[in-house]
Structure 1
Amino acid sequence: MDYDAPARKAWLGMSKTDIWVQLGYEKISGMVLPKGKVQLGFYVTAYEDDSPVVNPWAKVSRFLWETWGRPLFAKGEPLRVPLDRFVEHTYRWAFDTWKKHVWQEFDIDGRRVGAPAFIVNITQSPNYKRPYNQREDLSIWNQAWFSSLRSASGVKRYARRVGDAELEKKADLTKEFALAAPQKDGIFPTVYRAERDEVEIDGRKYRRSKGWETGHWSNSNRVPRELGMNQDYYQPLDCSWTALLMLRWHEELEPDDRLVEYARSYAEALLRYQDEDGFFPAWIHPETLEADRRALAQSTETSMSVLFLLKLAEVTGEEKFKKAALRAMDAVIAGPAAEGEWYDFETFWSSSKYWQNRLGEKIPRNAMHKQNTLSMFWTAEALLHAYHATGNREYLDWGRRTLDELSMTQQTWQPPFIYIPALGGFGVMNFDGEWNDSRQTLFAELFLDYYRETGDAHLFERGIAALKSGFVMMYCPENPQVKKLWEKVYPFFGPEDYGFTMENYGHGGKTSPQGMGMGTFTIYDWGNGAAAEARNRIHDNYGDVYLDRLRRQGFGIDSIEVTIDGNRAVLHDLADSPRDVRVVFDDGTTKTVRLEGKTSVSLNADGS
């Protein structure tokens, strides 16, 4: 479809395309259709009245899922494998077969810390026969994308579930890494980097780390360099996310007052940066600690700080944090959310830099802002928690509207030009070419949470599909279609590489049956480690099967089909893998049942 907003015209057709600017497409000539019948079809949503459409996304997103998504979902797409198989591959890869390059353990100012390296690439495979070459600095991150603390919480959940004390120690070392970041009037850095050098081997140069002896604190390098900013600038988004994860660790995994005090110290500083309209800045000067409001001064990045402050108010009982959070939430609703201005650091300062010199302006051709899915997610989650904190239905309605807008970017069909299972994955933004991005596992549980409030079954199904899609790009026997593509591109891959996972598919905007679009690297905290965390968190909160007694609905999360037959839920194993299954009920109670092909569970509270 092509759309010209100023001319109020739209076209439907087929055309060849090319990459115009980074990850942006344009029509080109040369389209050749084979002999035979070619059909074009489309659907139109029309409204008969003139009143404003409160939620323009609701009907369309439901239609997309029910028409194309649900039939694929009912067949078990995007995969029919017990999810713990992928978790096992992930932790074996990170802590065993690729341990030399992935797992990092060292001291910071006398404190023992540990975490997986930010990024590794195919040249670091134990099966790669030539010298390896580092793609980026050896580093560890606690950032909105790449969060070592988030991944570690998943490691801790899993280690406790299987009784692996050594694995749990690794999770605790990553918690210590987060606490090691030095606070400056409450603000703190979120990235620890080692210096890098070049070495010459057989006449060729290779990038190598100088080691953690050269380590130093900094922040994300996804910043407006055109404005003179650099990776030393503090980023409240990343700080709020990390502090929120600290509070969740304290509440859900293991009480640790250090985490609460660290988060509270940051919150006191954060409140000082809230502007008169309620927004928090995107960047803070590293020396003066003054807010730099030249870019994203009033953006939806604020929603992350809303989430953090609401959680801190809940943990501490201090009303001032809740008050500041709700003022910020109201500002986001009235401003960028209402305008569809889904701006954050990734929208302009990552792979797609298009339009970064025209912030605040819609793109004339389609009368839309450049939009990113991360800020939609943060806002939808913040609105849900604002509703929980206040009981104000307006927050829930806005949250559902935002979630439905986010749903428009979820993959609900299997295109012929996508050579991996596509259902459930998410795109990145409305000016990008990537499919199946790792954010899908970050988003998954929010859809389940909104089901709890609304009873809308298609939201739960979307969440399950999003969770599963996070493992689709993993190199392992359980993904035979994807495994073949990996081996076409990297014939040296073998069992030691099981677990290697690219963060998305079609990163450069092109794919092919020969493996174009498979990628070259794994970011543990935005790939296999992040997906494993989501599986372990959802397992704890929703189980392998979730049964809603009140609404008489049931959902199989771990490749299990659930049908309701009177007062019983019938469980059918789609994976054909006998195992113990954790069942979670809507009142929070749980039970474990043995699933060998088929079994049933009573929906009556007394188990009868």
Structure 2
Amino acid sequence: MYTLTRLLVPIFIFFLSCSDYKPEIPSWINEYVASIDYQLLGGETPDVHYSVLSEHVVKVSVSFNLKDSIYQDDWQVNIIPAFLPDFHWASHLTPTDEHIIAQHAFRAPAVIVVSDEKKLTIIPDLNLLQEIPSVNWYMDMDAADNKITLGMSKSKVREHVLFVRDSGAVFPPGKREFGFYILVSDKKESIQNPFRDAVAFLWEKWGNNAFRSMVSGFVDLERYVVHTYNWAFDAWKESVWQEFNLNGKEVGAPVFIVNTTQSPNYPDEVNEREFRSIWNQAWFNSLRSASGLYRYAKRTENKKLLEYANKTKELALAFPQKNGFFPGLISTEMEKVEINEKKYNRSKGWGTYYFGNSNRNPYSRNARVSPYHILDMSFTANQMLLWYSELEQDKRLLDYAVRYADALIEIQFENGFFPGWLDQETLHPMQHLNESPESAMSVTFLLNLYKITQNEKYRRSALKAMNTIIENILYEGQWEDFETYWSCSRYGSEDLVGKKAERNNQYKQNTLSMFWAAEALLESFYLTDNREYLNQGERTLDELLMYQASWQPPYIYVRTVGGFAVMNADGEWNDSRQSLFSELIIRYGEELKRDEYIERGIAALYASFEMMYCPENNDTKKQWEKVWPFFNEKDYGFMMENYGHGGVTSPDGIGIGEFTIYDWGNGAASEAYNRIVDHFGKKFLPSGINKTDKSSP
């Protein structure tokens, strides 16, 4: 292949000679790029210009002057690397020749290919996408044929959520511009961390200014926290707050999920979206949200909110342990109620409660029989330790976590990984994700427990798991976890688990597992002072940041900068995980003395509140009201977990959802804000400092 691509260079030069403009390509580019093939557009030859920005960056500008409309389904630029890469990365999966990376997925758009000696990165020129183009842009990576493609075409969604080309593109008359950047490197550190150059370039070129513009438009984030707690514990309290007696104690927490039919303004019957429940797992964690409520209640001296937080803590402690292991949720029985010949989903009440586990798993969609999930237990037990260490030394939290930790290290595999799931009855490991980055959450938990107890067995177990994640997961990019295959995006769940998409030489990836690994690596560095953990953490964090929005597209109708995607096979912008990620990014920035990371972490926190329905988010508020016109001030605080989930958006509200998960939305964002304020101080945040609304619910 290397010889073949070298032979293509004369063809490439001949093709360009047909153009009126003969671009002069810097000679050193031939070490990285064998050929660039620019297709004609309706018979028109492109004008191509190369601008050398540095010894490692070339800007490519392509333009057509069209006299008439051109009806052409697809236009492409095909780039052939001049070396054989063994590592490939792109923003979205394109598992067949039909698939493309549609501009909907251009959060931090890039294609990266790497060998032992060379790295080539291609990034679209986002300056040319500041207005919605007449024909949408796309990218593609064909690792099998060693080809990178950029182009323009209509697209449509297939699977959940991948994109394919569609027919019917029309290029109107006038000047049509297209462009991209070529980044190259042969430096060892650049090859060891293939993401750093792209992440820094995207932020310096677009993210930094977009970040400053975004935060200047936000008021003090405390106002969003006030909206959250007013919504959960006042305006929507009847639907959100769940309180009941368990083992002789009053316990409670906000419900897992509510939808628009539960608004006090909704004119029809309530129809609950899912089974009524309260979750303590790695996604939706009531104890995590309650810790933020506790911080806020202490800071504002609000006794009522403190009471709510403590009732949620009591609920977490009431989850029964079986040989140290414990369930991830408590739920009620549900029933169908018929009213005026229509059926509605309703709860039978907390008198019918049962404990169960997340139904986002490969085995059962029934929470009652779903298996124990090690990830969920480690996340919740770690929240107990954080509460014990930072909020109040309730020894029951530590004792609960110790019982779980002792059980956990007993089932650790010889290779260092922890099992994915355990059978509820036998407590034996099941067959999925037994060698996955989900184990990183257990690393962080055990290291935090070691810091409290100084028991060497926890440290030893944690570092054994950390090292096997580095050896087996990190450099392969095998970021597979429960959400990758067993939530809404189930593409590949039958035949791709543990395998790369062959055409892309890339795993289906999820950002949660990148976060857990980056967090565990930083904690490992703190504990051992081993710089290698920090370097590997930086690489992992940079891969995570390739899923963070670094600009404001005109076709995304809410503020996006700092928001995160879920994975490389789904459509979300501004997903609620950004509140979970925010402080970790800041902590890396503090450790590495890197302002870019600090800005990115703060941007993630601000983006965490962007989807909230409230007057402070003017553009978002308009989107909500186009879809749900009955919303008013009683709904301030309602917040969907993301935007554009289905891969399509419009100015008329397509992309806006219909539910709020308190523990993966407004409650989670408020927890992140309150935690960051406790750790760094309110003045650490850049906007709205003099505009604080001191009111509280």
Fold shared per TM-score above 0.5: yes
1:304 aligns with 2:418: no
The residue aligned with 2:9 is none
Note the residue ranges of structure 1 that are not aligned, 5 or more in a row: 547-556, 561-572, 581-608
Distance in 2, matches of 1:33 and 1:58, equals 36
Q: Deviations over 1:184-241 (max 9, x none)?
A: 0000001001010011111111110000011100000001038999753000100000
Could you report, residue by residue, the CA deviation over 1:165-195 in whole angstroms, capped at 9, with x for unpaired residues? Answer: 0110100000011100000000000100101
Structure 1 or 2, whichever has the larger Rg, is 2
Corresponding position: 1:524 with 2:662: yes
- The answer for the alignment partner of 1:282 in structure 2 is 420
Q: Which residue of 2 aligns with 1:577?
A: 691
2:515 corresponds in structure 1 to 377
CA distance in 2 between counterparts of 1:436 and 1:231 reads 32
* Cα drift, residue 558 of structure 1: 4.4
Q: Which runs of 4+ in 1 moved over 3 A?
A: 48-52, 76-79, 226-231
SS in 1 for 2:345: strand
Equivalent position to 2:260, from 122, 133, 153 = 122
Deviation at 1:109, TM superposition (A): 2.2
Shift of 1:92: 0.3
Residue type of the alignment partner of 2:445? F
Alignment partners' CA distance in 1, 2:230 and 2:188:
58
Q: Which of 596, 600, 614 is the aligned partner of 1:462?
A: 600
Answer yes or no: is 1:213 the counterpart of 2:348: no
User: Per the alignment, do residues 290 and 436 of structure 1 end up closer, same or farther by CA in structure 2, a change over 3 Å counting?
Assistant: same
Aligned counterpart, 1:169:
307
**Matched ranges for 1:453-492 at <5 A:** 453-492=591-630
- Paired residue secondary structure (2:177): coil
Structure-2 change in CA distance of 1:408 and 1:49 (3 Å): closer
Aligned to 1:439: 577
Give the 5 Å matches for 1:160-309. 160-225=298-363, 231-292=369-430, 294-309=431-446
Pair 213,504 (structure 1): closer, same or farther in 2 beyond 3 Å: same
Query: 1:239-278 CA deviation, whole Å, 9 max, x = no partner?
Result: 0000000000011001110000000000010011110110
TM-score of the aligned structures, taking structure 2 as reference length: 0.78
Count of residue correspondences: 555
Q: Which digits, 9 at most, give the CA deviation of each residue in 1:46-73, with x for residues without a partner?
A: 1246888111111110111111110112
* Cα contact 2:252–2:315 (8 A) shared by 1: yes
Structure 1 residues 306-321: aligned runs within 5 Å? 306-321=443-458
Instruction: Say yes or no: does 1:96 pair with 2:210.
Output: no
Measure how far apart 1:297 and its partner are: 0.9
User: Which is further off, 14-23 or 386-395?
Assistant: 14-23
What is the CA-CA distance between 1:405 and the residue it aligns to? 0.7
Q: Percent identity?
A: 53
| C-alpha contact 2:357 2:367 (8 A) present in aligned 1 | no
Shift of 1:399: 0.4
* Whole-angstrom distance in 2 between the partners of 1:138 and 1:227: 15
Q: 1:60 to 1:494 in 2, by over 3 A?
A: same
Moved more, 133-142 or 30-39: 30-39
1:332 is displaced (CA, Å) by: 0.2
**Aligned match of 2:247:** 109
**What is the aligned partner in structure 1 of residue 641 from structure 2?**
503
Matches within 5 A, 1:560-599: 577=691
| Stretch of structure 1 that moved more, 223-232 or 82-91 | 223-232
Query: Residues of 2 paired with 1:324 and 1:158: CA distance?
Result: 35
Work out whether 1:335 is the aligned partner of 2:449: no
> Which residue identity does 1:239 align to in structure 2?
M
Tell me the residue number matched to 1:138.
276
Of residues 296, 300, 323, the one that matches 2:460 is 323
| 8 Å contact kept, 2:214–2:561 | no
Equivalent residues of 2:388, 2:395 under 8 A apart: yes
Q: Answer yes or no: is the 8 Å Cα contact 1:78–1:469 preserved in 2.
A: no
Contact 2:332–2:347 under 8 Å retained in 1? yes
Distance (whole Å) between structure 2 residues aligned to residue 112 and residue 227 of structure 1: 30
Cα distance change of structure 1 residues 47 and 117 upon mapping to structure 2, 3 Å threshold: same
Match of 2:650, SS? Answer: coil
1:559 aligns with 2:687: yes
Native 8 Å contact 1:474 1:528 kept in 2: yes
- The one-letter amino acid paired with 1:577 is K
301-310 or 501-510, which moves further after superposition?
501-510
**Superposition TM-score, scaled by structure 1 size:** 0.89
Shift of 1:34: 2.7
Contact 1:150 1:530 in 2 (8 A): yes
1:26 offset after TM fit, Å?
A: 1.0
List per-residue Cα deviations over 1:346-368 (Å, max 9, x = no partner). 00000111111222111012110
Q: 1:207 to 1:454 in 2, by over 3 A?
A: same
* C-alpha distance in 1 between matches for 2:369 and 2:559: 37
